[in-house]
Structure 1
Amino acid sequence: MLQKMTLVERVLLTPDILQLLLNPSEPFDYQAGDYVLLGLDEADLKPFSIASAPRLDGMIELHIRNHDNSDWMVALFEVQRYDTLFVQGPKAQYQLDANLDKPLIFVAGGTGFAPMKALLEVALKQGGEQIIEFYWGARTAADLYQHTDMLSLCKQYPNLNYLPVVSEEDFGGRTGLVHQAVLQDHPDLSGFRVYLCGPWPMQQTAKADFLAAGLPESQFN
C-alpha cells in the first residue's frame, strides 16, 4: 500500500548517511527485517530497510547512504522536517526464527546495519539466554554511526557481544573484512544461526564462505 508519511526527524549521521524518522498517515504494520519503497513522489520509489523493530509510537526509522550522488539521492538528502515522502510497503525481507534454539550471529556491512539492528532488538526483547554476536563492518570508524549505542546495549544485555570491524583504517580495533572476522572466530559455523545484510558482492562472498565453513543453508538468511 502506498501512503504519504511526514518527516518528523532527520539526522545526518555521517556526511553520506542520513537517518529519517517518518510518521505514517495511516496504520502501518510491519515486522523487524521488513523494507519499504521510498520516494519524493509516487513515480520513483527506491528500497530501504526499516531500521528498528515496530515502535510504540508507530514511527518508521530508515538509514540511507548516498552511494551514487544521483539527482534522486541529492534531493532526498535535502528533505527537511515536516516534508512529505511517499512510502510503499512493508515488504518482507528477513524474519527472525520463532524458536531461537541456536547461538545467533548477525553480520552487517555498512547500512546493512539497519535490518540487522531491527532483528537484534526483537531477539533481545525475547529475553533468551542464547549467545548473540553482532559483527558490524564498515570502511572507517566514523561509518560505525551507532557504535556508542551498540556498546550501551552490551552493558544492558550480558549475552550480547558486539564486534566492530573496519576495513580501510586502523582504529584501534579489528581490521579487515567483516565476514572474515566471523570465520576467524568461528571456523565451524554448523551450530549457529546467521543473518547477513550488506552490499550485494559482500553478501555473495560471505554466503559462499559461510556455507563452506559448515553453515547449513537452512540456518542462513
Structure 2
Amino acid sequence: MDTPYGSAPKPVWERPEPQPRAAPVPLSREKIAATAIRLADAHGLDGLSLRKIAKELGVGPMRLYDYVINRSELLDLMVDVVYARIAEVSQHSEWRATVLAVAHATRAAALDHEWFSDLLGGRPHLGPHALAVGEATAAALSQAPGVRGIDDLQRAVGALNAVIIGAVRREVTERRTARSAGTDEAAWQASLGPYLTRMLETGKYPTVARLVIDGAHLDAEETFNHNLATVLDGITSHPHT
C-alpha cells in the first residue's frame, strides 16, 4: 500500500497500536519500550534484542513485530521516552532559562540511561517528544540577542548541541571506564607512566606537561555548567561582521 513515504511503512509514531489480542500478556509500544529501557539500563545496547525483550515480557518474539518492525524502531521508541522526560522541563519564560533547563535535563537523562548518550550525535531524533525538545530549544535560542537570522540560529543550535553531546558522551565514557578499569587501568598507567615522564622531561611539550602535572581533576558538573555558560555568552553577543 502506498503511503506518504512511498512503499515504506509510516514511522512507528504514526502507526496505530495493533488491535488488542486475546492473549495472556497484553502488549503495547509503551510497555515494550519500558522493558527495553530497563534492559538497556542494566546491560547496555549491545545486549539488547527483540528476543530478549520478548523473553522478559513472557511472549513470543514474533508478537513484538506487530508493534515494531525492527531494532531501529525499538531504539526510536526508547529514545523518545527519554525525550519525554526532557520535554517536561523545557518551558520557561526566559530564553536562557529554557536552554539551561534542556541542557541539564539532557545530561541528567544520559547519566540515568547511559545508552542514551550512545545514540546522541548520530541521525536526528524525530519522535514527537524529541521534536518538542528541539522546538523549545530552537525557539529559545532564536530569542537570544546575538541571533539575528536563520544562519545565526543554525550555528547557535549546532554549537549548543556540540557542547551538550560532547560533554555527556565524555562523562559517560569516563564513568564506564572507571567502573570497568580496575587492575587493567592501573597496569596501563604503570606501563605508560615512565614513557610519559620521559617525553615530558624533553621540554618539547610544556603545555601538556602543565596539564598533566598541575591540572586538577575537574568536577564534571561544574565543567559542564562553565562550558555551557561560555557558549551561551557567545551566542548572546552580537556576531562580528
* Fold shared by both chains (TM-score > 0.5): no
* TM-score, structure 1 as length reference: 0.32
* TM-score, structure 2 as length reference: 0.30
Rg larger in structure: 2
